[in-house]
Amino acid sequence: MKTPKRAHLSLADSPENGPLTGPVEDYLKAIYALGRGSVSVATNDIAAKLDLAPASVSGMVKRLADQGLLTYERYRGVTLTSVGRRAALRTLRRHRVIEAYLSGALNYPWDRVHDEAERLEHAASDELVDRMAAAIGEPATDPHGAPIPSREGHMDETEYLSLAELGAGYGARVVRVSDDDPEMLRYLGELEIMPGAEVVVVSKAPYDGPINLRVSGTLLSIGPALASQVMVEPLADMDAPSH
């Protein structure tokens, strides 16, 4: 009589205690984003991320702890349990699949998929999300380059360098850009700085000055604040400093 072990447990069967509400999913998603899943997260940071009063967060995390979604120690922050992490990844998967679908199947511009997905992620069934993913060929990332968790709850957590950290003279491929500022996305789009693009850092002005880039043949210059929102993968030397 061995304890039955599930071979594959899908993200879909997380909610033992009924489905989670929209706000709860938002909290878990925010906590996951802030703590990369296992680090302890400050309640004030959650409040800032969700644009709520800190007091509201104190109240909510208590309830989430009671539901077993996270552990909470007063004045010490919050950590997701494995149940909470699964729920967060499930929401993340929905969000990113929806973004990818809107972009890939319905021609949504990449600066508008985020807000739409933000609402749909709480309403779409697992079946719908799976059908969407299948319809666009099970993409590995969303339109901003963020990895889509698998149905089983795995997600590539590779950390990348930001464009701001890349040394002058180095070439890199853009893998991901931050997705929550439509204005910025539109600007990056104009500059053709998007996942897959190759960039070369031509030079960097000191004291947080502008960074000069070459993107698909064009020279342009961006500030370090923007550059830090662009994650890149350095290219094997092909364009490394020449002396």
Partner DNA sequence: GAATAAAGTTAGGCTATCCTAACTTAGGAT
Partner DNA sequence: ATCCTAAGTTAGGATAGCCTAACTTTATTC
Residues engaged in binding a second copy (CB under 8 A): 102, 105-108, 112, 115-116, 119-120, 122-125, 127-128, 131-132, 135
Q: At CA 153, angle to CA 102 and CA 47, rounded to 5?
A: 75
Q: Quick one: 79 or 103, whose CB is closer to DNA?
A: 79
Identity of the residue, 72 or 108, whose beta carbon is nearer to DNA in the bound complex: 72
Tell me the one-letter amino acid at 208: D
State the minimum distance, in angstroms, from the CB of residue 186 to DNA.
Answer: 28
CA 28 to chain CA centroid, nearest Å: 13
Q: How far is the CB of 25 from a second copy (least distance, A)?
A: 13
CB of 84 to DNA, least distance (A): 14
| Binding partner at 122 among DNA, a second copy, none, C-beta below 5 to 8 Å by kind | a second copy
What does 225 interact with, of DNA, a second copy, none (CB < 5 to 8 A by kind)? none
Residue for token digits 């070459």?
Answer: 214
Choosing among a second copy, DNA, none, which partner's interface includes residue 108 (Cβ < 5 to 8 Å by kind)?
A: a second copy
Q: Are 94 and 121 in contact (CB under 8 A)?
A: yes
| Helix, strand, coil % over all residues of the chain, rounded to 5 | 40, 15, 45
Question: Which listed option, a second copy, DNA, none, makes contact with residue 105 (CB within 5 to 8 Å by class)?
Answer: a second copy
Instruction: Report CA Rg, the chain.
Output: 20
- C-beta separation of 197 from 173 below 8 A: yes
Q: Nearer to a second copy by C-beta: 7 or 106? A: 106
Task: Output 115 or 180, the one with its CB closest to a second copy.
Answer: 115
Q: Nearest distance from residue 85's CB to a second copy, in Å?
A: 24
Rounded distance between C-alpha atoms, residue 101 and residue 227, angstroms: 27
- Which parts of this chain interact with DNA (CB under 7 A)? 21-24, 26, 42-45, 50-63, 72, 74-75, 77
Nearer to DNA, 15 or 209 (CB): 15
> Shortest Cβ distance from residue 67 to DNA (Å)?
9
Nearer to DNA, 17 or 82 (CB): 17
Please state the closest distance from residue 112 (CB atom) to a second copy, in A.
8
Burial group, residue 20, by CB count within 10 angstroms (0-12, 13-18, 19+): buried
Rounded CA separation 34/70 (Å): 14
Q: What count of other Cβ atoms lies within 10 Å of the Cβ of residue 190?
A: 9
* Partner whose footprint covers residue 128, from a second copy, DNA, none (CB < 5 to 8 Å by kind): a second copy
For residue 182, give the nearest of 129, 233, 112, 243 by alpha carbon: 112
Cβ–Cβ contacts within 10 Å for residue 131, how many?
Answer: 13
